[in-house]
Structure 1
């Protein structure tokens, strides 16, 4: 399952590259990936804010910002239902 496309964090538009997997150890779905370089998202992380809400289409899920990568993108993780719509889970990407 993966998603590549538009999203928002705190109402600010971003582009997300996400995938997920069922984790048998804890019995939950874990998802995560990368937010393309965005100065506002990087600033959230640098200011100490890690807990955010990621929105894709009509689905909003709690997420956690992890780190800024060498290219300026931000790693993001979450547990539970993925933020992308179910039909997007089988497609390689959902375009704007």
Structure 2
């Protein structure tokens, strides 16, 4: 049984990861840090997530892909975004 995940889900996840890493000063990805599904997206979008977005995403749409939240909004609520920031600080050993 193969489950297909919409590309919009990958894009949303990528934006959340990018926003969280940027919020704590981690500008670059190391490929092995990303979930397999996100690494798969990189086959479609180069490592420059921000540049790829600016080029291909207009008003949250990529061609026929439905609207996706951008930046921190991709993580859900403000509380969720803050909790992800706290988790990545612990994982990366970043002091408060």
Report the TM-score range of the alignment, normalised by the length of the smaller protein: under 0.3
Structure with more of its chain in helix, by fraction: 2
Higher RCO by CA contacts (8 Å cutoff, separation 6 or greater): 2
TM value normalised by structure 2: 0.28
TM value normalised by structure 1: 0.28
